[in-house]
Amino acid sequence: MPLSALDGGSGTTVSTGSFAQMTAFFREERSHLESKLEQQRQEMERQRLASAAKIEQLEAKIEQLQSDQQLPALQARIEALHAAQLLTDAEMFSIEDVIADSLEAATSDDTRVGRLIALSGRMTGDAAFSRQLRRKAL
């Protein structure tokens, strides 16, 4: 009794009467399916890498926005320290120069402003913060 099978996508019908022909047909089908699976795997990997790159870009943008929002608070605190005479004119101007130079460089290698922002957020005491500013920025 002849068997018929539809070739996976080619639209041709294969009539077989022998075990060898059926085996060859199934091997060809398996190879075709494995090829499709590999293509899908590669496409998924490409999409995963693209998604990871997008996430990394978004994280960088979020970090920049946070820094942009925290910078005015840092500057206001430095001015308040100056007004309270915890920083001299020269010290305040030097710290402002460090901030301006860092922002002008705008590279990921320069994290001085980020460290100053973090320090300002964690140190609540003005006297201690002014001493640390001298130590880290001057």
Q: Please report the DSSP string for 76-134 in residue order.
A: HHHHHHHHTTSS-HHHHHHHHHHHHHHHHH--TT--HHHHHHHHHHH---HHHHHHHHH
Contact 27, 6 (CB under 8 A): no
- Residues 66, 69, 71, 74: what is their CA dihedral angle, to the nearest 10 degrees? -110
Give the mean pLDDT of 32-42. 95
Contact 133, 116 (CB under 8 A): yes
Give 109's pLDDT tier (boundaries 50, 70, 90).
Answer: very low
Work out the mean pLDDT of the chain and round it to a whole number: 81
Give the mean pLDDT of 28-49. 95
Task: Give me the percent of the chain exceeding a pLDDT of 70.
Answer: 81
Q: Per residue in 6-22, pLDDT tens?
A: 555 555 555 556 888 99
Give the number of domains in the chain: 1
If 0-12 CB within 10 Å is exposed, 13-18 middle and 19+ buried, where does residue 22 land?
middle
Give me the count of residues in the chain: 138
Dig out the tokens for 110 from the structure: 């320069």
Which residues span the domain enclosing 119? Answer: 3-137
Name the pTM for this structure.
Answer: 0.47
Give the mean pLDDT of 31-38. 95
The answer, yes or no, to whether residue 3 has pLDDT greater than 70, is: no
